[in-house]
Amino acid sequence: MTDTHTTKTPLTLLGLGAMGTALARTWLAAGHPLTVWNRTAAKAAALAPEGALVAAEAAGAVAGNDLIVLCLLDDKSVEATLDGVDLTGKDLVNLTTGTPAEGRARAAWAEARGARFVDAGIMGTPSMIGAPETGGYVFYSGSRALFDTHRVTLEVPAGARFVGEDPGHAALHDVALLSAMYGLFAGISHAYALIEGEDIAPASLSPLLSEWLGAMGFFVGNAAERLTSRDFTSGVESNLAMQVAASATLLTTAAEQGVSAELITPYLDLMRERLAADPAAHAGEDTTGALTLLRRGAA
């Protein structure tokens, strides 16, 4: 019999919700010796037949291995789980979703307890774990040394992207991408609301919408270049003055269709605000300049 365990890094996983359980299964299937703990013990016991070593207490699970992965609900549950647990010499990988500030505070907290730390943000759902073809991956930031030591193990459930030694940056990347996603969802929702009640099937708008959003994807790179150069006017084909004028058509059409424009007005208002601030200076810009109005100062 081949013992696949001999070459694979042993690790501990705390938290066996939907995501934690998916992670556990990929490490077990890949032959990693895995110690698990979950607040509700039944979820941990369910993994014993698959080879997991089940710990009765979080402290015991942590004591069992050097590499400790956390996949709990939120930062408060990390605090509750690890309060008083000896973390000396441990490598903590926090897959729990949190804010950049929580990531930084948790890193300082871990360091004060003698542990190395990386924070992470999972870009995927449980069904994308252990399924590389789905494109799911995880952002990591914090201790580069920890990441380099455990990269191979961390890449078992999903691709790993290290985004720097600031422990807040994994969460910031995660939140930036998710925030963009909701903006996209808002626009898509508004488009479908406009055709509701008309003789246009959602299924017939769907491919047109996908194709159009794909074509408009150029804005991502274009905005990045303009934010770097601070040049908002060179090569502009659709200037702000024109876009502000045209936005009246969007709002009037929404009213005619009996649809609230609440999902699209914030961005249109921002364009108007930018133009109104200095029409002569901003009329020829694209819409990237408008985002400079968003910064309010940190909380």
Residues near ligand NDP, by CB under 6 A: 15-20, 38-40, 43, 71-74, 77, 80-81, 96-97, 122, 125-126
Of residues 125 and 234, the one with the C-beta less far from ligand NDP = 125
Of residues 41 and 281, the one with the C-beta less far from ligand NDP = 41
Of residues 125 and 252, the one with the C-beta less far from ligand NDP = 125
Q: How far is the CB of 222 from ligand NDP (least distance, A)?
A: 29
Q: How far is the CB of 298 from ligand NDP (least distance, A)?
A: 23
Distance CA 17, CA 43 (A): 8
Sign for the pseudo-dihedral over CA of 239, 241, 245, 251 = positive
Exposure string for 77-104, b = 16+ CB within 10 A, e = fewer: bbeebbeebebeebbbbbbbbbebebbb
Q: Which long-range contacts (CB under 8 A, 24 or more apart) does 177-186 make?
A: 177/123, 183/267, 184/213, 186/263, 186/264
Of residues 96 and 288, the one with the C-beta less far from ligand NDP = 96
Q: How far is the CB of 5 from ligand NDP (least distance, A)?
A: 25
Q: Name the β-bridge partners of 102.
A: none
Sign for the pseudo-dihedral over CA of 112, 113, 117, 123 = negative
Q: How far is the CB of 100 from ligand NDP (least distance, A)?
A: 15
Of residues 137 and 147, the one with the C-beta less far from ligand NDP = 137
Q: Name the β-bridge partners of 159.
A: 137
Of residues 123 and 261, the one with the C-beta less far from ligand NDP = 123
Q: How far is the CB of 1 from ligand NDP (least distance, A)?
A: 33
Of residues 43 and 190, the one with the C-beta less far from ligand NDP = 43
Please state, as a whole number, how many other Cβ atoms lie within 10 Å of the Cβ of residue 64.
17
Of residues 22 and 191, the one with the C-beta less far from ligand NDP = 22
Q: How far is the CB of 14 from ligand NDP (least distance, A)?
A: 8
Q: Is residue 156 within 8 Å of 144, Cβ to Cβ?
A: no
Distance CA 170, CA 142 (A): 8
Four-point Cα dihedral 141, 12, 135, 72, nearest 10: -70
Length of the chain: 299
Tell me which residue has its CB nearest to ligand NDP. Answer: 17
Burial class of residue 157, CB neighbours in 10 A (0-12, 13-18, 19+): buried
